[in-house]
Structure 1
Amino acid sequence: MSASRPRSSAIQARLATTLWRTLAGRRLASLWRLSRLIGPLVYRLSRRERDVTEINLAQVYPDQSAAARRCLARDSLTHSTATMLELGFAWMADPNRVETSIVEVHGRELLDDARAQGRGVIVLAPHFGNWEVLNFWLSSHFPFTAMYEPPKVEGLDPVTREGRERMGAKLVPTNPRGVAALLKALKRCEAIGILPDQEPNWGSGVFAPFYGRLAYTATLLPKLVARTDARVVTGVARRIPGRGFAIHFLAADEQVYSPDEEQSATGVNACVEDAIALDPAQYQWEYKRYRKVIEEQEGHPDHGSFRLY
């Protein structure tokens, strides 16, 4: 049984790599049309993604009708499908093609001004639009460092790493050594990337509101700010279906600069909400953002029986 798992992983990696290399040569308009065909099938056939997406949307948009939320869920899974199909484009296509697909850049002055003041920049990059295109742009225009956790399918590690590093990005591990590398990059007035909407391990975060409900949120940001005086911006690559991408950099909520971890985490979640407001369908709602709340409640029966998933 254990011997079959490496073989299965290797087959998955070869199939995914072959698919991405094939799709890398396709036009973005073709990939979007393909996404519009596959996305509704994902919504119908992938119960886990559909259910989690609809549950999350019910929490954050309670005033919308159920029909409107179902429509948004289908659109969201279509955009998530597009992101997966576009990985080959972001990682393997000719760099000139990727660069020219970025047809708009908004807010670049937030990064330029911070670096002109001799300060590093922390880019909060939520799972919105195509974050691999954002990585491409950032590493093409700035010295850029980001944390990296190898994919679960081991054979995809070299493909993922090569794709993310090809324009000069430096990837560091998600451990104290990686945090030290982020600090050094900020002190050199460089840019670093942080995923603000991934739930950290217990002990590495605090509960802070996200659309009015508590979500376990990482506390790495205030530690980095306190030790470097870095500026914080939110960055996303918004998909313009069939045409390309628009890069948006948004000024961070001022709470992110608070030394109080809960207040800073509240600011981080507000930054994610601001990015989502650009186009809610492009956020990856199929992630169980409130999962740690459930785990915490299950460990403390006196907290009641509230459940989401």
Structure 2
Amino acid sequence: MGCPKACLLSLRERIFLKSFFAVWLLKLLAYLPADWADRTGRTLGRRLDAGNSRAARTTRANVALAFPELDHAAQRWLVRASLKDMGEKAARMARVWVRRENNPDKIQDPENYHLFTDALAAGEGVILLVPHLGNWELLGQWVSEHGPLNAMYRPAKLEGIDALVLAGRQSQGYQVHPTNMQGVAGLLKALKRGEMVAVLPDQEPDAAGGAWATFFGQQAFTMTLAQKIAQKRSQARVILASAVKKERRRYQVVLRAVDPAFSEDGGLQHMNDAIEALVREYPAQYQWEYKRFSTQPDGRQLYP
């Protein structure tokens, strides 16, 4: 006999339980000793791979699309390394979101630090392009130590996770703006004040907010937000930024200049090229479990 309707959990109840257990896991990771938390995170990543999870399937598809020149063994190594890094990264980020720690990991001398200090000294505002590479929460902490940081924020699907992440970021000094025209106006005002604005450039936008450009040889519907902001505030400096892991709990902030032609019409390719070049240096630290190529101009489905 099947379970009567009365004993089935409602959709709202299932979402609540999923949120509860996700928050519980993040809190557990946040309060474990750092070595234990890292090992637990890597173990979770290995289990995602072994269990043929959605994250593992998407990672495999993305790695095959982005690195067709690698043989099967090399692609499998990269998939495993990426998923283990994702688990460890979650443990690292949990310490920021839950414990509100400042600099829980050590930052080595930033690469191309002069790009950042010169941009701040110019006083015309700084647009930071922050791809899903390395530990972007740690990067946000480091950046906010140098001055006011503004970013758009789209609420997470799970309420518990949303509250945790939002509170954690605001504790770092983020000024959070909604993902709408009001938010765009807030970012432009921040740049006018000479402040910093962080934009995630490698998320798929909605139909009105993107244009086509290649990324790892694939057609990728690419967000135009940063480009439009740069066009409206042409004096602002544009810098690609990531906090990448160099060794055990040691990170380096990597800063790269973006071709000025990026802000011109049709210049999105310069942004994608800069992101791709950086990802190729640290391929295991990129968020390959995100369906970056889910929208295709011919309607093809690239993911299982």
TM-score (norm 1): 0.88
- Where does residue 234 of structure 1 map in the other structure? 240
Which residue of the partner structure matches residue 165 of structure 1? 170
Give the alignment of 1:44-59 within 5 angstroms: 44-59=50-65
Query: Structure 1 pair 65/128, CA: closer, same or farther in 2 (3 Å)?
Result: same
Q: How does 1:76-87 map to 2 (within 5 A)?
A: 76-87=82-93
1:272 equivalent in structure 2: 275
Partner of 1:66: 72
1:95 match: secondary structure: coil
* Contact 1:36-1:78 at 8 Å conserved across structures: yes
Contact 1:32 1:241 in 2 (8 A): no
The answer to whether the 8 Å contact 1:106/1:249 transfers is yes
Q: Is the 8 A contact 2:98 2:164 kept in 1?
A: no
CA-based RMSD: 2.1
Q: In 2, Cα distance between the equivalents of 1:50 and 1:3?
A: 28
Q: Secondary structure at the match of 2:62?
A: helix
Superposed counterparts of 1:141-220, under 5 Å: 141-220=146-225
1:28 alignment partner in structure 2: 34
- Counterpart amino acid of residue 187 in structure 1: K
**2:223 maps to 1:221:** no
1:14 aligns with 2:20: yes
Query: 1:301: which partner in 2?
Result: none
Q: 5 Å matches for 1:128-139?
A: 128-139=133-144
Q: Deviations over 1:160-208 (max 9, x none)?
A: 1110110211111110000000000111111111111100001211100
Deviates more, 1:60-69 or 1:30-39: 30-39
Q: Does 1:283 align with 2:289?
A: no
Deviation for aligned residue 1:70: 0.8
> 1:292 aligns to what SS in structure 2?
coil
Contact 1:221–1:256 under 8 Å retained in 2: no
- The answer (yes or no) to whether the contact 1:29–1:242 under 8 Å persists in 2 is no
Percent of pairs with identical residues: 35
Contact in 2 for aligned 1:165/1:171 (Cα 8 Å): yes
Going from structure 1 to structure 2, the CA distance change for 1:270 and 1:148 (only over 3 Å counts) comes to same
- Report the counterpart of residue 303 of structure 1 in structure 2: none
8 A contact 1:122–1:193 mirrored in 2: yes
Q: Provide the C-alpha distance between the structure 2 equivalents of 1:28 and 1:125, rounded to a whole number of angstroms.
A: 25
* Pairwise CA distance, 1:272: 1.4
* Cα distance change on mapping 1:88 and 1:47 into 2, 3 Å: closer
Structure 1 gap segments, 5+ residues each: 299-305
Q: In the comparison of the two structures, how many residue pairs are matched?
A: 296
8 Å contact kept, 1:32–1:242: no
Residue 125 of structure 1 is matched in structure 2 by: 130
Cα displacement string for residues 57-80 of structure 1 (whole angstroms, at most 9, x for unaligned residues): 122211111110111011011111
